[in-house]
């Protein structure tokens, strides 16, 4: 009788591929740090195996122990069964090379403003990073953009404001982790209401912008996030309207406003036909983030 064939040894690469197939078959929704099953599986598998998210060299042929395979498969199963974003399961999210603690008190960081900050420090609107001495991250959530502002503009004092005390607790944890407590100040504020008298060279905001109709159709992964950080009225522009109405008095001469609005460009331009919005080219297209100079904002 021929000897039984030994089971095929799993490698990091084969485990990622089989995990991606499981995620795809289960119909999970992506969009919280990854956009496809391969990237999601790689993130989860590598975390379960205590491997770096971005390894210095290709390690996909590395053999995985039986315990490692079991741990990875259990984490994939939890992702499928819970329908929670991977960021919540792992208590981490990434913007470029920067890691942030996240939990269900905050929205999972995924801002296109980070793309602008990390690629060219908001050029051409900011000609010299040293010229930004004060900045505000409005609706800061986990504090991720406030921290990136401090990293990209090394001379800036940064406020990170949010209406949620729970979110600000997470932001403080991230600010502390990056040792930026002397430069980044979390502030509880309903948009700009608690910031009267404060002005900035730069205001960035990734406010709520999901329409009421879209909120009703959100898949479980998005419903796991705080609704307060997502919903913005019937057309998704409720918060943006307030920001546009009030931002000018909080910007220094020459200051700029940068706001993310999802893909609501057409609705915004219909609502404010006289404003000269600039739409930076991003990986998602030219409809997600607008830039306005102070002098173009309503008085």
Residue 284 neighbours by CB under 8 Å, 6+ apart: 112, 263
> pTM score, two decimals?
0.93
On the question of pLDDT at 3 being above 90, the answer is no
Integer Cα distance of 274 and 276 in angstroms? 6
At 106-154, the pLDDT tens digits run 999 999 999 999 999 999 999 999 999 999 999 999 999 999 999 999 9
Domain residue ranges of the chain, discontinuous segments joined by +: 12-90, 109-296
Output DSSP code: residue 131: G
Percent of the chain with pLDDT over 70: 97
Q: What are phi and psi of 143, to 5 degrees?
A: 85, 5
CB-CB contact of 98 with 144 (8 Å): yes
At 29-67, the pLDDT tens digits run 999 999 999 999 999 999 999 999 888 888 999 999 999
At 158-189, the pLDDT tens digits run 999 999 999 999 999 999 999 999 999 999 99
Q: What is the average pLDDT across 275-290?
A: 93
Domain 109-296 sits in CATH 3.40.50.300: no
């Amino acid at each position: 009788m021929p000897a039984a064939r030994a089971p095929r040894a799993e490698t990091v690469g084969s485990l990622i591929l089989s995990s991606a197939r499981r995620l795809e078959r289960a119909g999970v929704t992506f969009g919280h740090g990854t956009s496809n099953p391969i990237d999601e599986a790689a993130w989860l598998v590598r975390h379960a195996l205590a491997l770096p998210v971005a390894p210095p060299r290709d390690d996909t042929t590395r053999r995985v122990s039986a315990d490692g395979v079991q741990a990875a498969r259990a984490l994939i199963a939890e992702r499928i069964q819970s329908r929670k974003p991977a960021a919540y399961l792992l208590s981490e999210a990434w913007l470029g090379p920067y890691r942030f603690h996240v939990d269900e008190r905050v929205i999972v960081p995924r801002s296109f403003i980070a793309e602008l900050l990390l690629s060219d420090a908001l050029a051409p609107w900011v000609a010299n990073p040293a010229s930004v001495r004060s900045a505000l991250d409005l609706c800061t959530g986990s504090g991720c953009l406030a921290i990136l502002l401090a990293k990209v503009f090394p001379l800036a004092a940064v406020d990170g404001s949010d209406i949620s005390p729970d979110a600000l607790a997470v932001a403080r944890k991230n600010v502390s982790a990056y040792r930026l407590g002397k430069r980044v100040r979390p502030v509880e504020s309903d948009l700009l209401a608690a910031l009267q008298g404060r002005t900035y060279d730069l205001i960035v905001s990734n406010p709520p912008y999901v329409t009421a109709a879209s909120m009703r159709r959100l898949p479980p992964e998005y419903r796991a996030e705080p609704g307060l950080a997502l919903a913005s009225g019937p057309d998704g522009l409720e918060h943006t309207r307030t920001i546009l109405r009030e931002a000018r008095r909080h910007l220094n001469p020459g200051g700029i406003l940068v706001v993310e609005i999802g893909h609501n460009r057409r609705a915004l331009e219909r609502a404010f036909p006289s404003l000269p919005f600039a739409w930076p080219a991003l990986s998602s297209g030219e409809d997600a983030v607008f830039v306005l100079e102070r002098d173009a904002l309503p008085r």
